[in-house]
Structure 1
Amino acid sequence: MLIVYSFTGVAVSVRRWFEVSPEAVMEHGARIELALLAPQPHRGTESAAQQTVVDQPFWRADLFNRLDRPSDSFSAAHFHPRFDGVEPSDRVWSAALTADPWTWLTQQLENVEKLLIGAGLDPRIAEADADDLRAFAPRIVTSAQQFSPEHPLSRDEDFRLTRDASERVRRMLALIPDPTPAVLDHLRPWLERA
């Protein structure tokens, strides 16, 4: 499941996410990603449906927890302040993020100009969207909270929300030199999905 808040030039996507690291550490929680909207030419009549293309990610927050830690610890919470094309920068850890992830996320969303600068982009890109994004920040955070690791899900519930990521899970598993039977069993629904 992917929830997208689309503004004029910027979009915010919110979803449940699950991943397994090369060290076979399983993480899950809310992923919030900001990206630019790619302008599209008008098609059809004045009443025709139009394309909305979310492209060029520039910032991501992963409000994650490790599956082997208490559900409210946010032990794997981090963010990626920029992207190289579609590839995120290295993880950045923040004590403020771990201590109070929802306040931290709200503060980030309320300053999209700063996020654009941090990503090496012109903050004027968000000129038409900054006030709207600030106004919608509480709604976006509420959407993200429904995918929080504070609300533990069973493996099958996690799969239901992230089944579109099966190819990514297979790629993650390929990076683990010797996955344990427990890891393979946990990943089975993603691995079996065609």
Structure 2
Amino acid sequence: MLYLFGFDRIGVAVSDIYFVDPNPLKGQEGAERGVRLELRRLESGELKGSIYSSRPIGIDRPIWRVDLLESVTGAPGSFDRTHHHPGLKGWEPGRRVFDEQLSAEPLKWLGERLADLEGVLDECGVGRDEAGPDDVAGLRERAPEIVETVARLLETVRATHPSAPDGAESATSVRASWL
């Protein structure tokens, strides 16, 4: 499942994810699942036909990533693998950053961060000029709706059987997700 919230030049993409890290940190071995959220650059393309034609939409590089993950063998609601990536280089995430507040109250933490786009951009080392005033205002206004969407998707993930995707039972590296 993929959700996309688009503003002016910034979008928020949300997807379920099943992941097996091929090089896990100590204590982070084994499959994990949950919800991934990425702040992405958006591009509105030129019309390809008449004024009635559909507009191409480009969903470009990520700026920030939040992984609300739990180990598949752990207790639902543990958020034992929950982290974020404030630094991305191109398409590659930086190291996992574990934050006590994020793990303790992930949806509250997420809502506060989404409502502060300029603070997130500062933390990521990205210029505030990446986002326009409509992005800042739109994201602040829609943050509760995005958090609600993330919460519903987390419930859906937890309600499904935690088995690996088809053919991935013995794999040492798996990623099943839009993001």
- Normalized against structure 1, the TM-score is what? 0.77
Match of 1:142 among 135, 148, 168: 148
- Identify, as 1 or 2, the structure richer in helix: 1
- Give the match for residue 180 of structure 1: none
Number of residue pairs the alignment of both structures matches: 168
Mind listing any 5+ residue stretches in structure 2 that lack a counterpart? none
- Give the match for residue 38 of structure 2: 33
- Give the match for residue 77 of structure 1: 82
Deviating more after overlay: 40-49 vs 64-73: 40-49
- Give the match for residue 59 of structure 1: 64
- Give the match for residue 184 of structure 1: none
- Secondary structure of the residue aligned to 1:173 is coil
- Give the match for residue 111 of structure 2: 106
Matches within 5 A, 1:15-26: 15-22=15-22, 23=24, 24-26=29-31
How big is each residue's C-alpha offset from its partner over 1:67-125, in whole Å with a ceiling of 9 and x where there is no partner?
Answer: 12111110000001121111111100000001000000001101111222222222132
In percent, how many aligned pairs have the same letter?
Answer: 28
- Give the match for residue 51 of structure 2: 46
Q: How many angstroms apart in 2 are the aligned matches of 1:131 and 1:106?
A: 14
- Identify, as 1 or 2, the structure richer in strand: 2
Larger RCO (CA within 8 A; separation ≥ 6): 2
Structure 1 position 153 matched with structure 2 position 160? yes
- Give the match for residue 12 of structure 1: 12
Cα RMSD (Å) of the superposition? Answer: 2.5
- Give the match for residue 91 of structure 2: 86
- Secondary structure of the residue aligned to 1:70 is coil
Q: How many angstroms apart in 1 are the aligned matches of 2:106 and 2:61?
A: 25
Match of 2:100 among 72, 95, 98: 95
- Normalized against structure 2, the TM-score is what? 0.83
- Secondary structure of the residue aligned to 1:69 is coil
- Secondary structure of the residue aligned to 1:18 is strand
Mind listing any 5+ residue stretches in structure 1 that lack a counterpart? 176-186
